[in-house]
Amino acid sequence: MKNKIPKFKSESDERAFWASHDSADYVDWKKGKNVIFPNLRPSLKSISLRLPESMIEELRLLANKRDVPYQSLLKMFLSERIAKELRPHGA
């Protein structure tokens, strides 16, 4: 039988509790279920990226043909290439 999770007066009290206690003593993780949150957006981080002006113009031209913002097209290109690089060779 698992321990009962105490009631907390504040979020900071709860944070301190979990920092010093193992959740496995309180939660039966074997009964856990995978859940999909379809409306969550990934966290974004802004970066500064220097590209040749000609490359940006070409990217804008390609994006215009697809009727998407050029930054979105750049993210699509990066995502596709990353997926390709992470696949095992020959897959």
The confidence score (pLDDT) of residue 91 equals 61
Residue 41 has pLDDT above 90, yes or no: no
Q: Are residues 51 and 13 in the same domain?
A: no
Question: Is 64:50 a contact under the CB 8 Å cutoff?
Answer: no
Q: How far, in Å, CA of 23 to CA of 16, rounded?
A: 13
In the structure, what pLDDT confidence band is assigned to residue 62 with cuts at 50, 70 and 90?
Answer: very high
For residue 38, tell me if it sits in a domain: no
Q: Are residues 1 and 25 in the same domain?
A: yes
For residue 37, tell me if it sits in a domain: no
Q: Are residues 27 and 50 in the same domain?
A: no
The confidence score (pLDDT) of residue 24 equals 93
Q: Residues 43-55: pLDDT tens digits?
A: 889 999 999 999 9
Domain tally for the chain? Answer: 2
pLDDT, average across residues 62-84: 96
pLDDT, average across residues 9-18: 94
Q: How far, in Å, CA of 26 to CA of 11, rounded?
A: 18
Question: Is 14:8 a contact under the CB 8 Å cutoff?
Answer: yes
The confidence score (pLDDT) of residue 90 equals 62
